[in-house]
DNA sequence: CTGAAAGCGCTTACAG
DNA sequence: CTGAAAGCGCTTACAG
């Protein structure tokens, strides 16, 4: 079934069929109806490839999830509330705005090229990248891409702006810096003076900025940062678990509280703490980041900091949709985060 | 940059450029090299829409996840190890075979039409459907679809075969029936005689067959099925939790073991049991289904039954890839499941 | 309001 | 080995 067949059947020209399909105004109701009936009867849908080639949008958004390093069991998208939540939400909002979405997981060096290719082949009208790291723009040759792109968790530098010359790149971030500082202050107000930190991946904005915020808050409160209480977690459950376990074993003096750069590592740390026959929050208080569902149903329920993924996902689709439709400025938005007090923080009495 | 530009720059015709791009054999090495250099230099990639229209495959597979009912917080893809695992794995294998994948979540009645549309518009070469229910084939008008499709968790009926006339539909299942029967026998051998069951959704093959298997095994072992110990779970964490709680409150005589139609509901039941100050497996033994990662890291670790998602996902892509390439028969495969004994089952001494 | 025609950027027989 | 030409199925000025 192609438009020509429909045209013949309806006794009109292909032009008219096209006008009906695209719902153009200058078609009388009766011929419109006549054509629509044939279309329905024969289940006709215009060939996307033909219509896109003829100048229409593809109505497809590319969604790229960058997960480098071992793509092992624990590193799967669906085991990652951060990626998973975005994927899910983005799919939802894109569908509401009638976009199809092409999803690719970038799990190795060689797959970066897929991103550029998808744009160059014109498969997608615009793209969203999650898991952006410091070197991502260069790796995907962003300078050759002229379509609109939204980056999550990334701060555009002046160099980036020169490199990509265009203003078609938007960023959507959360104010993790203030979030972590609040967390440190919260622990301080509860009497904690020995606060450790589980680090994420330094190459990502969130990994970097959350740690910086911790250091800054500690310094502002005149608290010592004990190097032994800084745990490398790499945003990986397994690594966070192992290194927390190690810290617990090696340190004579344990921290009374630990802030983790994300919920998953916080949950892993709690496991390690339990394993060492210590209690949360009895012996060590814990604060996570992301407000994931897993932290909400864990036992004990995790005190955490969280951005509003929904609003952020919606914003991404919104920007892209408007840019696809026509001229619309790129944006660099930064959403505030909330503090969710649950069951993993306890006041401690200060030893005078 | 289009093929004509490359042709001019390289001093050849568009035909030759096309031959180089498609890596056809009848091009001398030196002209091939000459053309390739220009292509690389100008970052040329053929327009997918033009090349597909001209007869090439789109190299795109559609992945449709059917999640009906409330699409609430607990029902999200990324909170669902079953959907999540497949999504993830399928994305992986498709990428290995160089396919792009178009992902759609079918969360309401009106979105079913999207599936048919994707095929009719020729956006995709083939499709995978997860979350198939009894009425799915009719809902998506499978009779109008001539491309290859793989269905997970669905048994083709003779009626289906007539309805769809073609033999382009494959199904990939796991032998849940034997899996559940083994679970019942296992509990029996540990001394359990009062075994409850948490049901999934009847409209899905897995929901239906797992319950049937439970009933059959109970009958074979001459065990009474206590209607009060049959819990409606609907494959929903919240519902399973609430109904387990209710059962625990209402039943004077509690089951000594419960088999759940999936891990997530099993985990929810364990929560409810703990909430009632009972122990797992001390007071009640639990067996789940799916062998999800959540059950592997939960406390206590969940005894469960599991298919091999990896092999099944790989098989799906494999079938589709071969069918896209040329003639290849559809298949109806059924993989055996494994029993994973972990920490939620206990022997009990029989009261004589 | 509507049709004939050009064009979108490829691929593929066809001819040489 | 290689180019000219037709064709894929649409959309969109253009002319009427």
Using one digit for the tens of pLDDT, what is the confidence trace for B57-92? 999 999 999 987 655 555 566 666 678 788 888 998
Pure H helices in chain B: 3-10, 14-21, 29-41, 48-53, 81-96, 112-120, 136-139, 158-163, 176-189, 205-220, 237-250, 263-275, 293-297, 309-325
Q: Hey, are the CB atoms on B121 and A45 less than 8 Å from each other?
A: yes
Type and span of the H or E element at A201: none
Indicate which of B79, B94, B306 best probes the interface with A, i.e. most A CBs within 10 Å of its own CB: B79
Task: Identify the pLDDT of residue B334.
Answer: 97
**Mean pLDDT value of segment A123-134:** 94
**Mean pLDDT value of segment A25-46:** 92
pLDDT in tens, A200-239: 999 999 999 999 999 999 999 999 999 999 999 998 888 9
Task: Say yes or no to pLDDT of B280 above 60.
Answer: yes
What is the pLDDT confidence band of residue A164, given thresholds at 50, 70 and 90?
A: confident
C-beta of residue B321 within 8 angstroms of C-beta of residue B315: no
Q: Hey, are the CB atoms on B47 and A111 less than 8 Å from each other?
A: no
What is the pLDDT confidence band of residue B306, given thresholds at 50, 70 and 90?
A: very high
B60-174+309-335 belongs to CATH 3.30.420.40: no
Indicate which of A21, A51, A78 best probes the interface with B, i.e. most B CBs within 10 Å of its own CB: A78
**Mean pLDDT value of segment B14-39:** 93
Share of chain B above pLDDT 90, in %: 75
**Mean pLDDT value of segment A161-169:** 81
**Strand C positions within 7 A of protein Cβ atoms:** 1-5, 7-13
Q: State whether the beta carbon of A27 lies below 7 angstroms from any atom of strand D.
A: no
Domain boundaries, chain A: 3-53, 60-173+309-336, 176-307
Q: Count the Cβ atoms, other than its own, within 10 Å of residue B214.
A: 24
Q: Are strands B169-174 and B148-152 parallel, antiparallel or unpaired?
A: parallel
Task: Identify the pLDDT of residue A352.
Answer: 45
Segment among A141-145, A178-182, A285-289 with least mean pLDDT: A141-145
Task: Say yes or no to pLDDT of A351 above 80.
Answer: no
The nucleotide whose C1' lies nearest the CA of B4 is C9
What is the pLDDT confidence band of residue B1, given thresholds at 50, 70 and 90?
A: confident
Task: Say yes or no to pLDDT of A70 above 60.
Answer: no
pLDDT in tens, B168-225: 899 999 999 999 999 999 999 999 999 999 999 999 999 999 999 999 999 999 999 9
pLDDT in tens, B132-170: 999 999 999 998 898 999 999 999 998 888 888 777 899
Torsion of CA B225, B228, B233, B239, to 10 degrees: -170
Task: Identify the pLDDT of residue B352.
Answer: 45
C-beta of residue B85 within 8 angstroms of C-beta of residue B263: no
Q: Which fold has domain A176-307?
A: Rossmann fold (3.40.50)
What is the pLDDT confidence band of residue A107, given thresholds at 50, 70 and 90?
A: confident
Beta bridge partners of B150: B128, B170
Beta bridge partners of B63: B103, B128
Q: In terms of CA atoms, which chain A residue is nearest residue B123?
A: A48
Q: State whether the beta carbon of B301 lies below 7 angstroms from any atom of strand D.
A: no
Torsion of CA A270, A274, A279, A284, to 10 degrees: -40
Task: Say yes or no to pLDDT of A297 above 90.
Answer: no
Q: State whether the beta carbon of B55 lies below 7 angstroms from any atom of strand D.
A: yes
Task: Identify the pLDDT of residue A81.
Answer: 66
CATH number of this structure's domain A3-53: 1.10.260.40
- Choose from A2-11, A51-60, A179-188 the range with maximum mean pLDDT: A179-188
C-beta of residue A223 within 8 angstroms of C-beta of residue A251: no
Q: Hey, are the CB atoms on A78 and B78 less than 8 Å from each other?
A: yes
Q: Strand, helix or coil at A195?
A: strand
**Mean pLDDT value of segment B28-36:** 93
CA atom of B26 to C1′ atom of D2, Å = 10
Q: State whether the beta carbon of A9 lies below 7 angstroms from any atom of strand D.
A: no
Q: Hey, are the CB atoms on B114 and A105 less than 8 Å from each other?
A: no
Domain A60-173+309-336, CATH among 3.50.50.60, 3.40.47.10, 3.40.50.2300, 3.40.50.800 = 3.40.50.2300
CA atom of A12 to C1′ atom of C3, Å = 9
Q: Which residues contact B30 (CB under 8 A, 6 or more apart)?
A: none
Q: Hey, are the CB atoms on B95 and A84 less than 8 Å from each other?
A: no
Q: Strand, helix or coil at B164?
A: coil
Between B110 and B156, residue with greater pLDDT:
B156
Task: Identify the pLDDT of residue B165.
Answer: 72
Q: What are phi and psi of B105, to 5 degrees?
A: -100, 125
Between A179 and B349, residue with greater pLDDT:
A179
Chain B residues touching A49 at Cβ < 8 A: 48-50, 52-53, 58, 122
Let me know if the fold of A3-53 is the same as that of A60-173+309-336.
no
Task: Say yes or no to pLDDT of B302 above 80.
Answer: yes
Which residue in B73, B105, B121 is closest to A92 by CB distance?
B105
What is the pLDDT confidence band of residue A101, given thresholds at 50, 70 and 90?
A: very high
Which residue in B81, B105, B122 is closest to A49 by CB distance?
B122
CA atom of A8 to C1′ atom of D16, Å = 22
**Strand D positions within 7 A of protein Cβ atoms:** 1-5, 7-13
């Amino acid at each position: 079934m192609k438009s020509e067949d429909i045209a013949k059947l309806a006794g009109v020209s292909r032009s008219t069929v096209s006008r009906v399909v695209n719902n153009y105004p200058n078609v009388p109701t009766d011929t419109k109806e006549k054509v629509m009936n044939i279309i329905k009867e024969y289940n006709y849908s215009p060939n996307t490839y033909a219509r896109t080639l003829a100048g229409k949008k593809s109505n497809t958004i590319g969604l790229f999830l960058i997960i480098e390093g071992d793509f092992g069991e624990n590193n799967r998208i669906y085991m990652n509330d951060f990626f998973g939540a975005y994927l899910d939400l983005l799919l939802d909002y894109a569908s509401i705005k009638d976009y199809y979405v092409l999803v690719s997981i970038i799990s190795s060096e060689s797959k970066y090229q897929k991103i550029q290719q998808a744009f160059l082949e014109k498969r997608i009208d615009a793209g969203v990248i999650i898991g952006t790291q410091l070197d991502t723009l260069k790796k995907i040759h962003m300078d050759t891409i002229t379509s609109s792109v939204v980056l999550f968790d990334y701060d555009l530098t002046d160099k980036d702006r020169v490199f990509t010359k265009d203003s078609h790149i938007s960023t959507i971030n959360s104010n993790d810096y203030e979030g972590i500082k609040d967390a440190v202050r919260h622990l301080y107000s509860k009497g904690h003076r020995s606060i450790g930190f589980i680090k994420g991946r330094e190459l990502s904005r969130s990994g970097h900025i959350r740690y910086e915020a911790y250091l800054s808050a500690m310094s502002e409160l005149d608290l010592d940062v004990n190097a032994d209480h800084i745990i490398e977690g790499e945003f990986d459950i397994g690594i966070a678990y192992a290194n927390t376990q190690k810290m617990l074993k090696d340190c004579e003096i344990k921290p009374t509280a630990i802030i983790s750069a994300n919920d998953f590592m916080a949950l892993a740390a709690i496991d390690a703490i339990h394993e060492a026959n210590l209690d949360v929050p009895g012996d060590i208080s814990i604060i996570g980041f992301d407000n994931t569902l897993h932290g909400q149903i864990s036992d004990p329920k995790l005190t955490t900091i969280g951005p509003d993924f929904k609003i952020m996902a919606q914003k991404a689709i919104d920007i892209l949709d408007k840019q696809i439709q026509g001229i619309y400025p790129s944006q660099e938005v930064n959403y505030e985060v909330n503090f969710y007090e649950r069951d993993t923080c306890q006041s401690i009495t200060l030893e005078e």
